Structure 1
Amino acid sequence: MGRKPILPRVWHFASFGAPGVVIYLCFVMAPILISFGYSLTNHNPFSPPAEFVGLENYRLLFQDEQFLTALRVTTILTVIVVVVPNVLGLGVAVLLDRKGWLYNALRSVFFTPVILSSVVVSIIWTKLLDDRGPVNDALRALGVEHPPGWLSDPDLALYSVASIVCWQMLGFCVVVYLAGLQGVPAELLEAAEIDGAGPVRRFRAVTWPLLAPSLTINTVVLLISAFKTYDYVKVVTNGGPGSGTTATIAFDVLATGLDANHVGYASAMAMVMLVIVATLTTIVLRFLRRREVDL
């Protein structure tokens, strides 16, 4: 039997794949390439023309204390946001993995923050954590004379911002883990119970290994979301209190590019951020997917 003509097959593939490829090239690859081009110049929209400086922006970047501080802040924020919602989300999902209208209602309650705008969430928590806000008023009512400055204390502000991000992302983790829990075959749990395994043993030997895909999804989504955190910082602390105590890399990129108009330098920061996120995501995916394969 002769092979089918290649032209119809190419046309068939192009008709389905071309729209996605064009969108990807226009809205993902093109901005990345343009940003990389800007990063090799000293481009400032209010001081034309731009001059080619090569890798000078990158060299200055790793000598810039402000950028290194932002990298440290982003790392701390990312570790907290990846670990805390994952752990709490798994615990809440296990508790809600039951039938009944009450558990269905609680699932909706936990997921509600996810659908809210991050700006709205930030404004709400800014009011709650204000020095004269409801949280500190409640602490004073309990006898605490000098409540913490959740957003005004440089030692606490970053952890307050991280807590807000964790609070909003918790519901996402709960839903993903619930989907994983409901996909665990009941016969495996029954077989383990017949063999004498208790609840903890059943969870560790049967349920947890089968939640590997859920762990992968949550970890990657949280990693990317935490590393590009900007809106929470902008609304809640505006990078303060003090000098850059909560300023993430994403916050510094926009502040440098839009406020200070140093587009070339900001583009170099954005490219470094892209490389870091891509590298971390690749490593995490490879590690977690290997765990899935080994099941």
Structure 2
Amino acid sequence: MPDLVVSQGRSHQRVSTAYRRRYRRGVALFALFAFPNLALIAVFAYWPVLENVYLSLTSWDFISPAPLFIGLENYIQMFTSGTFLGVLRITLIWVVVVVGVCLVLGIALASLFSMKLPGTTVVTGIVFTPHVIAGAAIAAVWLFIFDQNYGLARVVFNAVGLSSPAWTTDASWALPALIIVSIWKGVGFVSIVYLAGMQGMPSDVLEAARLDGANRWQLFRRIILPLLSPTTFFLVITQTISAFQAFDIIAVMTGGGPASATTTLSWFIYDQAFNRSNVGYSAAAGTVMFVILMCITVLQFRFVERRVHY
């Protein structure tokens, strides 16, 4: 009996040793494949964020040998400045309108494309094309469309007896002009993602709803929309981040003007750093933008995801 106990103990020890070896090999293999990626993320993603936070606590003009540490003065100046608060207001309008309209138009177009009407494939490609074109090229085309004297928009206004407004030089029209262009560029991507979500829906659920007497609106509102909630959740996050980071269209069409009417947070960061050589102030604005995006993302995952039906 004692020999049996000893034998079982040795067998258990060998199994435990073999398990530990396999575990160490698994950890080593994971580290081998994961470490290069983690190192790249740390160097090119997290380190620039930390460096930007440090610069936000300094005053620097690209010329001085080293940044001068000034603590929270940049943040105090920002949040007591009417200019920066105005930039936040314009950014909020920009993000809410662009993201909201893109989602509504995107799901409407996706519903239309899912009907498989003649020519749908061609129209789908046409709608998606602006998404893959560089924003600077799109902005250059729309500058011609919005031209008061020669643009195509002038023809539409003249047809109803009105004169074309100064789209990019009038403070009242500049922001709407940029919003129109941004929506035109982004709605194709949103519609394609929604279309993919619709095509992946279980056909038996839709057919059962039709057999129960659901009309098209009831089918869309009570079946399709809830099933598309993961797609909507994904699009809200990605399109919000994209809208906050919008830069190329603004740079080409208005340059933040006229009179800061189109100065969003992304353009403000660029303008302070490279046009005004106020690097610390620009870094502080960049840190604020990072915090805003983090808070929006956390809130969306915390509250919005609860209403997502997977």
- Partners in 1 of 2:189 and 2:269 — Cα distance? 27
Of stretches 10-19 and 132-141 in structure 1, the one that deviates more from structure 2 is 132-141
Kept in 1, the 8 Å contact 2:233–2:304? The answer is: yes
Uncovered stretches (5+) of structure 2, i.e. residues with no partner:
1-14
Equivalent residue for 2:292, pick from 276, 288, 294: 276
In the alignment, which residue of structure 2 is the partner of 1:202? 219
Kept in 1, the 8 Å contact 2:147–2:154? The answer is: no
Of stretches 90-99 and 280-289 in structure 1, the one that deviates more from structure 2 is 280-289
- Partners in 2 of 1:286 and 1:167 — Cα distance? 31
Cα deviation code 1:148-197 (max 9, x no counterpart): 22222211211110111111000010111001100111111111111111
In the alignment, which residue of structure 2 is the partner of 1:17? 34
May I ask how many residue pairs the two structures share in their alignment? 293
In the alignment, which residue of structure 1 is the partner of 2:100? 83
Cα displacement (A) at 1:235: 0.6
In the alignment, which residue of structure 2 is the partner of 1:254? 270
Of stretches 36-45 and 131-140 in structure 1, the one that deviates more from structure 2 is 131-140
Q: Which residues in structure 2 correspond to 1:211-290 (within 5 Å)?
A: 211-241=228-258, 243-290=259-306
Of stretches 63-72 and 129-138 in structure 1, the one that deviates more from structure 2 is 129-138
CA spacing shift, 1:85–1:53, aligned 2, 3 Å: same
In the alignment, which residue of structure 1 is the partner of 2:144? 127
Cα deviation code 1:200-254 (max 9, x no counterpart): 111111111000111012111110011112211111111112x200011111111
Cα deviation code 1:131-151 (max 9, x no counterpart): 223234313541524222222
- Partners in 1 of 2:192 and 2:291 — Cα distance? 30
- Partners in 2 of 1:145 and 1:103 — Cα distance? 35
Q: Secondary structure at the match of 1:120?
A: helix
Kept in 2, the 8 Å contact 1:86–1:173? The answer is: yes
Q: Is 2:168 aligned against 1:155?
A: no
User: Which residue identity does 1:4 align to in structure 2?
Assistant: R
What is the TM-score of this pair, normalised by structure 1? 0.94
Equivalent residue for 1:181, pick from 198, 219, 230: 198
In the alignment, which residue of structure 1 is the partner of 2:84? 67
Uncovered stretches (5+) of structure 1, i.e. residues with no partner:
none
Q: Secondary structure at the match of 1:4?
A: helix
Q: Secondary structure at the match of 2:62?
A: coil
Kept in 2, the 8 Å contact 1:136–1:148? The answer is: no
Cα displacement (A) at 1:98: 3.1
Q: Secondary structure at the match of 1:8?
A: helix
Cα displacement (A) at 1:125: 0.7
CA RMSD of aligned residues (A): 1.6
| Aligned sequence identity (%) | 32
In the alignment, which residue of structure 1 is the partner of 2:62? 45
User: Which residue identity does 1:74 align to in structure 2?
Assistant: T
User: Which residue identity does 1:191 align to in structure 2?
Assistant: A
CA spacing shift, 1:181–1:140, aligned 2, 3 Å: closer
CA spacing shift, 1:156–1:212, aligned 2, 3 Å: same
- Partners in 1 of 2:110 and 2:154 — Cα distance? 32
What is the TM-score of this pair, normalised by structure 2? 0.90
In the alignment, which residue of structure 1 is the partner of 2:53? 36
Kept in 1, the 8 Å contact 2:146–2:154? The answer is: no
